[in-house]
């Protein structure tokens, strides 16, 4: 007699021997990526952490130093100076680039004439290397024949030594960094804007909402996840990036007034060959970025709205 209720069949589980036979195939497909990860990611991380507790100049044998490099990092006056310059750079780049990219992405999301041309103009820095960007802007900032000084001279302002003035060099570098950061941010903001349902705008218009009300009550809440993502990656990029631009524009000068932390890290490692101290600087930077990211991640509950 057959029961009227359906009997649930348990999920089929491969025999143990067959599962072991699949292991070589798994390593066959995962092997190349796993090898690259171990050689170029895992090993450098572990090795860098190891040499941060040692004195090593590449030529002489490595000697154990304990926490000496980290104590030197905290006590060195140059650390405070480079951290301050890095914070100045970050505060200059982060809010301005996000605001401009959101503004331009809203414009590019409209139906305007020759839209493809304007999108190409804004995305041009994305396909340009940092070195090329720095060299072009170095020519634009040139004192005698630079295009920027030629323009300011037309309105009666004297020519400026943008890259050789201690007070002007960081604003000049921040302008270059913002210009280089805009394309990626615009792409993400455009994707976020195009994901906002059109019927929400129609409903807002029926309620009499203007452009500002629609942006504040419809657009902004729905693009806060995109804004949060860009906030994190831009902050990390400001802390750890900017080397290619600064090194090719000023190499940290004049008088170390544009000496970012990553520039000093590079100089410590590959000019002074203090590999242990440079590794301690790198891991100190990692801990700072990790701490700030955790704070941002916890603060998202207050202003990020997920659908």
Helix axes 147-154, 130-140, angle to 10 degrees: 40
One-letter-per-residue 3-state SS of 39-56: HHHHHHHHHHHHHCCEEC
CB burial class (10 A; 0-12, 13-18, 19+) of residue 79? middle
Confidence (pTM): 0.87
Which pLDDT does position 125 carry in this prediction? 78
Q: Give the up-direction half-sphere exposure of residue 264: CA atoms within 13 A in the CB hemisphere.
A: 25
Q: What is the CATH number of domain 76-302?
A: 1.10.3720.10
State whether residue 134 is helix, strand or coil.
helix
Tell me whether strands 63-64 and 54-55 are parallel, antiparallel or unpaired: antiparallel
Enumerate residue ranges in the chain where pLDDT < 50: 1-4, 6
Phi/psi at 21 (5° precision): -70, -25
Q: What is the largest CA-CA distance in the chain?
A: 103
Which token pair is 206? 């029926």
Q: Positive or negative, the Cα torsion across 78, 79, 84, 90?
A: positive
Q: Of 203, 138, 210, whose CA–CA distance to 169 is shortest?
A: 138
Which pLDDT does position 1 carry in this prediction? 43
Which pLDDT does position 115 carry in this prediction? 66
Which pLDDT does position 108 carry in this prediction? 85
Q: How far apart are CA 223 and CA 191, in angstroms?
A: 9
What is the chain's length?
307
Which pLDDT does position 79 carry in this prediction? 95
Helix (H) or strand (E) holding 55: strand 54-55
Q: Which residue has the tokens 């916890």?
A: 298
Q: Which residue has the tokens 């050689």?
A: 39
CA distances (Å), origin 131, targets 59, 135, 244, 269: 30, 6, 6, 20
Residues whose CB falls within 8 Å of the CB of residue 71, separated by 6 or more in sequence, listed in order: none
Residues whose CB falls within 8 Å of the CB of residue 151, separated by 6 or more in sequence, listed in order: none
Q: How far apart are CA 234 and CA 239, in angstroms?
A: 9
Which pLDDT does position 12 carry in this prediction? 58
pLDDT, tens digit (0-9, with 9 covering 90-100), for 36-70:
999 999 999 999 999 999 999 999 999 999 999 99
Cis peptide before 202 (omega within 30 of 0): no
């Amino acid at each position: 007699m057959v029961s009227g209720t359906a009997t649930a069949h348990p999920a089929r589980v491969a025999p143990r021997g067959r599962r072991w036979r699949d292991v070589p195939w798994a390593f066959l497909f995962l092997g190349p990526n796993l090898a690259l990860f171990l050689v170029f990611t895992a090993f450098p991380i572990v090795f860098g952490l190891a040499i941060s507790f040692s004195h090593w100049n590449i030529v002489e044998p490595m000697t154990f130093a304990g926490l000496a490099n980290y104590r030197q990092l905290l006590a060195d006056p140059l650390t405070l100076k480079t951290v301050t310059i890095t914070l100045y750079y970050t505060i200059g780049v982060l809010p301005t680039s996000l605001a401009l990219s959101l503004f331009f992405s809203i414009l590019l999301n409209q139906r305007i004439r020759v839209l493809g041309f304007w999108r190409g103009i804004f995305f041009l820095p994305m396909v340009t290397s940092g070195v090329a960007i720095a060299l072009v802007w170095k020519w634009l900032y040139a004192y005698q024949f630079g295009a920027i000084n030629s323009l300011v001279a037309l309105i009666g302002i004297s020519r400026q030594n943008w890259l050789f003035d201690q007070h002007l060099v960081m604003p000049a570098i921040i302008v270059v960094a913002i210009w280089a950061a805009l394309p990626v941010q615009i792409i993400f903001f455009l994707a976020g804007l195009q994901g906002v349902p059109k019927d929400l705008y129609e409903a807002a218009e029926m309620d009499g909402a203007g452009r500002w009300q629609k942006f504040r009550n419809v657009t902004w809440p729905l693009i806060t996840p995109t804004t949060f993502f860009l906030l994190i990656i831009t902050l990390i990029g400001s802390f750890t990036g900017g080397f290619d631009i600064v090194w090719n524009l000023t190499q940290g000068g004049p008088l170390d007034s544009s000496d970012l932390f990553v520039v000093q890290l590079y100089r410590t490692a590959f000019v002074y060959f203090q590999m242990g101290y440079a590794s301690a600087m790198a891991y100190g930077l990692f801990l700072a970025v990790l701490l700030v990211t955790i704070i941002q991640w916890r603060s998202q509950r207050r202003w990020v709205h997920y659908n």
